[in-house]
Each structure stands twice: as structure tokens, then as C-alpha cells.
Amino acid sequence: MRYGTGSRTLIRAAVIIIIIAVLFFNAYYTITEQEAAVVTTFGKAKATTESGLHMKIPFIQHVDKVDTTIKGFPIGYVMETNATVEDESLMITSDFNFVNVDFYVEYKVTDPIKTLYASQNPVEILKNIAQSSIRSEIGAFSVDSVITTGKNEIQSNIREKINTRLEQQDIGIQLINITIQDAEPPTNDVKEAFMNVESAKQGAETAVNNANKYRSEQVPAAEARIDQILKEANAAKEARINEAEGQVARFNSLFEEYKKYPLITKQRMFYEAMEEILPDLKVIIDNSETGTQKILPLESLIDVINSEDGGEN
């Protein structure tokens, strides 16, 4: 079968159009805001991160697109079914206890060229680094800390270790975050024991808080009472000192008078003593012959003593 000149011309034109169309569609590529492109020209790679429509040389330049959004993967469990992966989750602690710990790792691509060409599977490398760092850090803590109080410190230490290893590997991936999803003993009996321990700790904390509250209420009252007692004691001390000083001064005064006038001073002291004693005394006269008793008031005797004292003075 032979084609005419016109037919051959049409075939050539169609082939040329197809070639031009292929070249045209291979000369452009687009990048979204969540992507970066690596353009390779004769084995030399160049990254392009500006979103939009870009041009390339067909069949000479090759374009690979890399997702730059934050991604993640689980360690210790299957995300779709939440089933435990014991090879990843089962670990031993510093006090030689077993514990199941699940983690979730978040990362993003920071260098598209290194992500594509510095390693064959950078995400797998990140996962291996994470598992190694996790086991090393869990092994440095007690099982009680892993399950209860030490989670924040463990996460922070693991994050620091992974970042250090990633800087050494330089595979174009950055760790965004790593979090403990769950941590529990491997058996139900052990889990129940730890729950009892946690309840006991909470009870102890409650008791301590109540004791601190009682102390905060009682200490100020006790301090106020102590202050009052000290003030009363100081006041009593001052009163006794003043009284003693007054008695000493009175004694010294009397002693000076005694040295000058011994007899008069003795009499005066006697009369003063009687003035204090006699008002409370009564004289009882017992007449045994008649069998009668008489109580005589002493007012008249006191008046006599006072008149004699006044006469001498």
C-alpha cells in the first residue's frame, strides 16, 4: 500500500504536532504551597520552593516533588487499629521492670535535596534513631517514673537525643515533636498494682496538703499566743522588779532611820505591823469557872495604840 504525497505530508505534520505537544506539556510543572521541587539537570540538583507554574527543559531536566508538610508515624502501636506492636513498645527500665510505652513522632522535610539523595529512606532512619533514643532513655528511669511522674522529662531528653543524631546524619529531616501516647505495665496484675500505688501517692499528697493547711492555720495562732505570754511575762517581771526595788528602797530608808533612832524605829515598826494584823483579830476570853466565853472587839485597843503612837510622834 502506497501513500500519496499529500498523505505523507499529513502524517509528518501529525507527528510534528504530537512531538510539539509532548515537548510543551513536559516543559512546565507546578508546585503547591505544601511542596518543594528538586530539578535535576545532568545529575546536578537544584531545589525550588516557590509555589506556582515553573518551566523546565523537556527530557533534559527531571523534577521530583517533595511534601514539606508536617507528617508523623507511631512507635509501639498501629495507628489504624491501635493494636500494640510489642517489638517496639516493650522495654526494660532501670529497676529491671518491663513496661509498654507508645510514642508518636512528628517530622518535616527541611532540605528536599538531602531528603532525596543523602539517604535511601530518611524516614526509616529517623524511626531507627527514635527507637534507639527511646530505649536508651527509658532504661535510665524507674518504671514508676515512666508510668507516672517522669513523662515530661523523658520526652524532653529523647527529643534532644534525636535532634543531636539528626544533625550528625544530615538527611534533610527535622524532628518537630515526640510524645508519649501511653505507658503501662505489660500485665493486668502489674497494672492494678501500679494503680494502687498511684492512689496511695495521691492519698499521701492529700494528707500532706491537709497537714500543711492545718499548720498554716495553727502556727499564726500559736505565735500570737507565744507573743501574748511573753508580753505578760515581761510585764510581771517588770512589776516584780519595781516592787523589789521599792521594798529595797523602803528597807534602806528604814535602816537609815534605825541607825539614827533605834528605839523609836523599833516601836514604829511594831505599831505598823500591829495595824496590819489587829483589825482581823478578835479576843476570846474563856471563863472556866462560869463556863462562859466572851468575844471582845479590839477597836478600843487599836484606838489606844493609835493615840499612844500619835502622842509619841
Give the pLDDT score at 1. 45
What region does 180 belong to: left with phi over 0, alpha with psi -120 to 50, or beta? beta
Measured CA to CA in angstroms, residue 258 lies from 119, 181, 265 at distances of 119, 101, 5
Q: What is the pLDDT of residue 134?
A: 95
Cβ pair 124, 115 in contact under 8 A? no
Low-confidence ranges of the chain (pLDDT < 50): 1, 3, 311-313
pLDDT at 313: 43
Nearest to 28 by CA among 53, 46, 59, 45: 53
pLDDT at 195: 66
pLDDT value, residue 225: 86
For the domain made up of 71-186, give the CATH fold: Tetrahydropterin Synthase; Chain A (3.30.479)
0.85 exceeded by the pTM?
A: no
Angle between helices 188-260 and 262-277 (to 10 degrees): 130
Segments making up each domain of the chain, as ranges: 5-66, 71-186, 262-312
pLDDT at residue number 133: 95
CA atoms of 258 and 253, how far apart (whole Å):
9
